[in-house]
Amino acid sequence: MAGILTAEGFRFLFRTDKGEITRETWWLGTALAGSIVLVASVIWFVIAPFANSDLSRRGLFDPTTLGVYLYLMVYAFIILLTGVCWYNLSAKRFRAMGRAPSLAGLPLVLALFTGAAHWITPRVPDMVPFWSPWVLDASLVVVILWTLFELGIRSTPRS
Using one digit for the tens of pLDDT, what is the confidence trace for 110-159? 999 999 999 999 999 899 899 999 999 999 999 999 999 999 998 776 65
Between the CA of residue 108 and those of 51, 123, 147, what are the distances in Å?
26, 23, 11
The whole-number pLDDT of residue 9 equals 78
Between the CA of residue 15 and those of 7, 23, 34, 46, 66, what are the distances in Å?
11, 18, 16, 31, 32
pLDDT digit string (tens) for 80-107?
A: 999 999 999 999 999 999 999 999 999 9
The whole-number pLDDT of residue 2 equals 56
pLDDT digit string (tens) for 2-51?
A: 566 677 777 888 888 899 999 999 999 999 999 999 999 999 999 998 88
Q: Name which of 38, 18, 117, 141 is nearest 82 in CA terms.
A: 38
pLDDT of 56 strictly over 60: yes
d(C-alpha 155, C-alpha 21), whole Å:
12
